[in-house]
Amino acid sequence: MQKNSEYRLKRCPFCGGQARILSTWDGLYKAECKCCTCGTASYTTQIAVARRWNQRADSYLAKWIPCEEHLPENENPCLVICRTWSMAENAWKEGKLMILRYLPKEHRWNISGMTDVTHWMPMPEMPEKKGEIT
């Protein structure tokens, strides 16, 4: 039997939300953030899912840049964490993950409406596929 601490999931590396382990329709398990729904692939055991989720969590957290500290200097796409205004609840919703561009000449993100970008990071490199010429 596994110890309960081995199933504990670290916070989401993208939005900081609480993660959970879910059963998939095919009898496997995956981890998913309750807030932004970012998740892992499916695995045969819950412990494999927890280890995979926790393995990648720390590598991303350090890269988030608060907007109040620094903004992008070019118009390259960025991963961003936003607060969005909920008309139904008349309140800000935290932790929506999006891909946006910052427009330095206009001092704004390329989005309109009731959205407030709180953190950003440069887009990670695309994975290399063996045998493919890029």
Is the predicted pLDDT of residue 24 greater than 50, yes or no? yes
> Where is average pLDDT lowest: 14-18, 42-46, 47-51, 57-61?
57-61
Q: Are 30 and 37 in contact (CB under 8 A)?
A: no
Domain definitions of the chain by residue range: 4-61, 65-122
pLDDT for 50: 92
Question: Could you tell me which of 74, 68, 56, 70 has the C-alpha nearest to residue 110?
Answer: 74
pLDDT for 26: 92
Question: What tokens appear for 19 in the block?
Answer: 């993660």
Both ends of the chain: CA-CA distance in Å?
A: 46
β-bridge partners, 32: 20, 39
Q: Which pLDDT band holds residue 54 (cuts at 50, 70, 90)?
A: confident
The model's pTM: 0.49
Burial group, residue 101, by CB count within 10 angstroms (0-12, 13-18, 19+): middle
Average pLDDT value for residue range 94-111: 87
Q: Are 67 and 81 in contact (CB under 8 A)?
A: no
What are the pLDDT digits (tens) for 61-88? 457 888 888 888 888 888 898 888 777 8
Which residue is it, tokens 């390329």?
110
Q: Are 99 and 123 in contact (CB under 8 A)?
A: yes
